[in-house]
Amino acid sequence: MRPRSATSTPAPRGDWNIIRILLPYLLEFKGRVALALLLLVLAKLTNVAVPLLLKEIVDALDKPKAMLLVPVSLVVGYGLLRLFSTLFGELRDAVFAKVTQRAIRRVALKLFVHLHSLSLRFHLERQTGGVSRDIERGTKGISFLLNFMLFSILPTLLEIGLVAGILFYKYNAWFAVITFITLIVYIVFTLFITEWRMIFRRTMNDMDSKANTRAIDSLLNYETVKYFGNEDYEARRYDEHMSKWETSAVKNQTSLATLNAGQSAIIAIGMTALMLLASNGVVKGELTLGDLVLINVFMLQLYMPLHFLGFVYREIKHSLVDMEKMFRLLDENREIQDAPDAVALKVDQAAVHFEQVCFSYEPKRQILFDISFDIPPGHTVAVVGSSGAGKSTLSRLLFRFYDVNSGCILIDNQDIRKVTQASLRAAIGIVPQDTVLFNDSIYYNIAYGRPEATREEVLHAAQSAHIHAFIQSLPDGYDTMVGERGLKLSGGEKQRVAIARAILKNPAILIFDEATSALDSKSEKVIQNELRNVAYNRTTLVIAHRLSTIVDANQILVMDGGRIVERGTHRELLAKQGVYAQMWALQQQEEE
């Protein structure tokens, strides 16, 4: 059964599942989280104590000759409480900062490692711009979620409980009743409208990711766009998604205005009812002026964070939506995985054996049919054939980018499915047909073959690939930047860098996938001689288009339609007067 494609959509994670994923990152710093929560409680207690002290000050000043009896200690205490309510909050943020940033780092690293563990199938189908934007929004969402969920929702609920308790204890029960009714109406309204608005946020994210995918794809193919004069066409494609994003963004903003207006109306009605009740109590002499001030300040302290709570809830929902796509990437199936009992590959002779290998990328289209051949230790086997015959698929299977549908591939009699991928790939080096370089220096790209290599080894590898003199002629030498995907270098120069990188890796098994296809005839002959030296005494698989480059191979396999139709040495195949002989004659005519 074919593994699930990367383009298939995993089931969306529930909000609580996402929050549960983040909990271990909080528990990693139990001490910091506990201290932050303690500071949070202290900040809220001092905040609630401020109106109580303000009531005492007002009542003290509301007596005859109050100016002569200013309660200095109460005023100083009021100032200190104001200071500490802010100070505790700032200390809490400082203590918790490490927790948040570590969580972002850990999740980002986990996702990065997971993406590299996914199969080649996923990476051939992925949309780079969209994936990068999903990760960017998701990591920002983690920071917001952890901070505001812990330090906005919890303290606001704590403050609501304290204020309601004080009102119920000190005053008429109607104060508490009105407060709770207002809270319930406010929360229900906020939940209902926010859930309705989420569809606009999700559409915005989808269109943003797709627009970014278009932009990245277009910029990576800058030269192609220019060749065909399609700048306006690319702009229209990009604007298609930006137009849909704009529509969703406008709906998102107008619905936000509706939500804010409704919340403000609910709070205004609740505060008006409480102030009418308090004013009536003062007129009747049941309450003092200080009580009126206390209730008013409590309401302000209660409804301001409550209003903020509506904002926080909205933003948390937005963050969860933003994180949804990022965590969906973690749900992507790792098609190729190490077996539970996988061991490291033990390379002795480096003998390679393909045994009745069948393979298909898609169920309806089989690529390889019963492929069997051996590459004895130190021998070179070349594979030739028309485009689409399945030649490059052999190298992908040997690297275990895909698993065979049937049959097996052995290295020194070890099934590559039963060894670790890291040890397998460490034993194989490749010079690919299409060399893609990192946007870094030439030195970095050569050293990538073995990052721990010394500078002398890197330079020696460059000399072996006959690129050292060229690099030395550049103004910045080995520090020359190669540009995005190595576009600042010619095809031949990139190919030489790839050859140097493979030489530096010094693997037991080598694959040359049309390694000299981008070189001119003169350079090709020089490089071919060097490749022979590099391949000497190594097990080598050569995938070739130019037959003149593989005449010295120990064995040549001729593929057609996913099958091996001929095999033998160059002389033997010419003597057969079959497919290979026809290909040779055709290429000789073309060269002439």
* pLDDT tens-digit map of 407-416: 999 999 999 9
CA distance 73 to 231: 73
Could you read off the pLDDT of 280-330 as tens digits, one per residue? 887 887 777 777 777 777 777 666 666 666 667 767 776 777 677 777 777
- Structure confidence at residue 27 (pLDDT): 73
Highest mean pLDDT among 36-50, 148-162, 221-235, 355-369: 355-369
β-strand 352-362 against 406-411: which pairing, if any?
antiparallel
Percent of the chain at pLDDT above 70?
Answer: 84
pLDDT of 7 > 60? The answer is no
Residue 36 has pLDDT above 50, yes or no: yes
Q: How does DSSP assign 115-136, residue by residue?
A: HHHS-HHHHHH--HHHHHHHHH
How far CA 159 is from CA of 37, 40, 156, 272, 529, in Å, comes to 14, 11, 5, 20, 80
Q: Is the dihedral of CA 414, 417, 420, 426 positive or negative?
A: positive
The more confident residue out of 78 and 547 is 547
Using H for helix, E for strand and C for coil, what is the string for 162-184?
Answer: HHHHHHHHHCCHHHHHHHHHHHH
Separation of alpha carbons 292 and 54, rounded Å: 11
DSSP output for 354-402: EEEEEEEEETTEEEEEEEEEEE-TT-EEEEEESTTSSHHHHHHHHTTSS
Q: What is the pLDDT of residue 64?
A: 57
Task: Report pLDDT for 4.
Answer: 40
Q: What is the pLDDT of residue 10?
A: 44
pLDDT in tens, 129-148: 667 767 777 777 777 777 66
Under CATH, which number does the domain 340-427+507-592 receive? 3.40.50.300
Nearest to 394 by CA among 422, 424, 352, 351: 352
May I ask the CATH architecture of the domain 435-505? 3-Layer(aba) Sandwich (3.40)
We find that the CATH architecture of domain 15-330 is Up-down Bundle (1.20)
Question: Which one has a higher pLDDT value, 576 or 112?
Answer: 576
Confidence of residue 555 (pLDDT cuts 50, 70, 90): very high
Confidence of residue 223 (pLDDT cuts 50, 70, 90): low
Spell out the alpha helix ranges (H) of 230-288. Answer: 231-283
Residues 383/457, Cβ–Cβ less than 8 Å: no
- Looking at per-residue pLDDT, the higher value among 125 and 569 belongs to 569
CA distance 200 to 251: 7
Position with higher pLDDT, 514 vs 346: 346
- More confident position, 119 or 190: 190
- What amino acid is encoded at 554 in this protein? N
Q: What is the mean pLDDT of residues 97-120?
A: 76
For the chain, residues classed under CATH 1.20.1560.10 are: 15-330
How does strand 509-513 pair with strand 428-431?
parallel
Which pLDDT belongs to residue 97?
78
Confidence band, pLDDT 50/70/90 cuts, at residue 456: very high
What is the predicted pLDDT for the residue at 6?
Answer: 37
Taking the C-alpha atoms of residue 498 and residue 539, their distance in angstroms, rounded to an integer, is 19
Q: What tokens does 187 get?
A: 């929360």
Please report the pLDDT score of residue 592 as a whole number: 66
Q: What is the mean pLDDT of the chain?
A: 79
Decide if pLDDT at 484 tops 50. Answer: yes
Please report the pLDDT score of residue 216 as a whole number: 79
Most confident range, picked from 27-36, 57-66, 360-369: 360-369
Q: Is the pLDDT of residue 34 over 60?
A: yes
Which one has a higher pLDDT value, 40 or 152?
A: 40
Give yes or no for residue 261 having a pLDDT over 60. Answer: yes
**pLDDT at residue 124, as a whole number:** 64
CATH 3.40.50.300 residue ranges of the chain are 340-427+507-592, 435-505
Q: What is the pLDDT of residues 330-378, one digit of tens each?
A: 777 677 788 888 899 998 888 999 999 999 888 888 889 999 999 999 8
